[in-house]
Amino acid sequence: MDPLEIRERIDRFRILVIGRANAGKTTILQRVCNTRENPEIYNSTGKKRGLHNIENEMVFKSNPGFIFHDSRGFEAGGESEFNKVKVFIADRSKGIKLKDQLHAIWYCIPMDEACRSFTSGEVKFFSQCDTGSIPVIVLFTKFDALYDDAYAQLKSKGASMEDAAELAPKHAEESFAIGSQLRFLYHSKEIRHPPKCHMCLPNMDRDDADCGLLIERTAGTLDNEVLKQIFVSTQQSNLELCIKYAVEK
């Protein structure tokens, strides 16, 4: 389909972002939209709002092609917040216009807390919330919090300070890949609706933070080719993906 025709059908790409307080959600959205500014928030009538409501639309001036919806996670509002998310997902997946549908979900789980296991609210979401064709990508945010442990493990095995510091990021990712969190997320009997995929996102607060792989992974979860085209053309973080997709098409 011609890009202009796609734009007429879907002028913006809609993402629900879920995560507890201080999960790094806003920082990631700023990186995706190449800005340090905060988003503008609008209600369903187009009026600016500041209060939290999952129905409100978050838009960054730097890239208005994305619409973000925010859920605070389920510890903040308990059963009430969980039910709001379920209703929102169900309503946004029904027979409404494609541009008003929810197109993807990013679920942010921070790794900088003392207890790095899943909360009861997170387990509940992946156990009970069927998102249908809407892909869910888990973002393990603040992943660099695991680097100190990885550094200590490498040092205990005889690595020098310099080598341990250099190898810590890779060691943290390798250990996490075979660790209990991912085994539970993808293979536990409790998890009836596992995510499509996951991402480890370290140092997203840095100016040189790269979210290109997040963009690529998200595009890869989209089965609808029209949605994939609009997502790839809207994002500004991965020029290589735009070129790659154009060549493949």
Question: How many Cα neighbours within 13 Å face the side chain of 140?
Answer: 22
Percent of the chain past pLDDT 70, that is, above it, reads 85
pLDDT digits (tens, 9 = 90+) for 223-234: 888 788 888 777
Closest CA to 20 of 111, 147, 148: 111
183, 165 Cβ separation under 8 angstroms: no
Q: 212-221 and 25-32 are packed helices; what angle lies between their axes, rounded to 10 degrees?
A: 90
Q: What is the DSSP letter of 48?
A: B
Q: What does the CA dihedral 19, 22, 27, 32 come to, rounded to 10 degrees? A: -10
Please state the rounded mean pLDDT for residues 50-65.
Answer: 87
Token pair belonging to 147 = 């680097």
Identity of the residue numbered 247: V
Q: What is the DSSP letter of 143?
A: G
pLDDT digits (tens, 9 = 90+) for 61-80: 998 889 999 998 776 557 88
